[in-house]
Amino acid sequence: MEAVILLLAPLVPHMTQELWGMLGYDQSLAEVSWPVYDPNVASEEQITIVIQINGKVRSRIIVPADEEVEQIKAMARADEKIAGMIAGKDVLKEVYVPKKLVNIVVKG
């Protein structure tokens, strides 16, 4: 709650000063330091990868954010919806857009 009040202080200084006092602080918001950015809190542990067949969205999978490209492609091919759609067809190409999608180009 403190961080939200500090971030709102430049926009609504009088209201945030009142809220700051209600939280039990006597010090003025003008004298309090700005919140510090923490990259560990902002990073994602998992990401959603869209799976396309010939450019059309067919499924989505959730993978760890630091997963290897080949492992993501394998997970995309192993998805039950995708496996059924590419069974018996020739896979011409697999395109991976980092942290966004896998597009499987098939013929047949």
Per residue in 61-108, pLDDT (tens digit) is 999 999 999 999 999 999 999 999 999 999 999 999 999 999 999 997
The answer on 65 and 86 residing in a single domain is yes
Nearest-10 Cα torsion for 26, 28, 33, 38? 70
| pTM of model > 0.75 | no
CA nearest to 58, candidates 106, 108, 98, 99:
106
The answer on 34 and 9 residing in a single domain is yes
pLDDT in tens, 7-27: 999 999 999 999 999 999 999
The answer on 57 and 77 residing in a single domain is yes
The answer on 56 and 30 residing in a single domain is no
Give the other-Cβ count within 10 Å of 50's Cβ: 15
The answer on 58 and 33 residing in a single domain is no
The answer on 12 and 30 residing in a single domain is yes
